[in-house]
Structure 1
Amino acid sequence: MKQILSLLLFCLLSMPLWAQKEADQILGKWYNTEKSAQVEIYACGDRYCGKIVWLKEPTYEDGTAKIDKNNPEEKLRSRALMGLNLLTGFEYDEDNVWEDGEIYDPKEGKTYSCMLTLKPNGELEVRGYVGFSLIGKTVIWTRVK
């Protein structure tokens, strides 16, 4: 009886660790669709965020670092793209889906609601949308090897 209780207690205590491991599958570096940038997804508190850590073309022709020139806030237009947070506030739901986050698109200078889905083949489906997730755009990111 004591062994059964010990086993049951072990199983109950290890469940949060298993769930955390499942949620952490998204961690690491990902190529965007065009493979022009790498975004590192990391834990930020109890949620997940992502920032640009590599750019295929990190500078303009004059050698200066690329900046967030399309940002709607004038004071943010001079910040560097390298290190820029693109993904914020994602929470692991279940079935390899991270929801309730936002994605910033520096090409357009716009922020969208977003959900991330890790596919069985290892690709990351990134869906940005306004309002309802049915109205939006989906792109595929691949893990950096």
Structure 2
Amino acid sequence: MPIGSNARRASLAGFGFIVVGFASIGPAAAQDVAGTWQRDTGASRVRIAKCGDAMCGTLTWLKKTDGPAKVGQRILYDMKPSGDGKWAGSAFNPEDGKTYSGTMTLSGDALTTSGCVMGGLICRSVKWVRAD
């Protein structure tokens, strides 16, 4: 076997390792939002997890259980990556029973969710911190 073929094989093996490493960065980064998040006011907790090819959020705990929001209610739907640390989909507001265009933005252990109407002209944001 020629000497150059061993070096070439080692070089190709290293390249394959690098490609696999970069390929695994995307899915891992998209999963960083998964987990339990507590609203900054302490009023509720939501569990964000994979649902099909997107991320969804379900209420897991409420400080006040006598309001329109209910434990087990899904409030974030079909959130798909839309940039670095960002997802876009739909957000349900239990207070008015309406579903809005929604986004999630992750920055470290802080998450901001937003629901918008009128093509994003009017938005309401909620801040969350990791609870798990």
Provide the TM-score with structure 2 as the length reference: 0.85
Between the aligned partners of 1:3 and 1:52, the Cα distance in structure 2 is: 50
Q: Residue in 2 aligned with 1:141?
A: 128
Amino acid corresponding to residue 44 of structure 2 in structure 1: A
Higher helix share: 2
Aligned-CA RMSD value: 1.7
Q: Deviations over 1:50-108 (max 9, x none)?
A: 101111123x4xxxxx656xxxxxxxxxxxx1111110101113311111x11111011
Which structure has more strand as a fraction of its residues? 2
Report whether the alignment pairs 1:119 with 2:103.
no
Tell me which amino acid in the other structure corresponds to 1:123. A
Unaligned runs of 5+ in 1: 61-65, 69-80
- Which AA in structure 2 matches 1:91? K
Q: Share of identical aligned residues, percent?
A: 29
Are 1:102 and 2:90 matched, yes or no? yes
Pick closer, same or farther for the CA change 1:27–1:138 going to 2, 3 Å: same
What amino acid maps onto 1:16 in structure 2?
A
Match for 1:26 among 33, 38, 51? Answer: 33
Q: Larger Rg: 1 or 2?
A: 2
Equivalent position SS for 2:99: strand
Matched residues, number = 125
CA apart distance, 1:134: 4.0
Which aligned segments of 4 or more residues in structure 1 are displaced greater than 4 angstroms?
A: none
Give, in angstroms, the shift of residue 23 of structure 1.
0.4
Amino acid at match of 1:83: G
TM-score, normalised via structure 1 length: 0.78
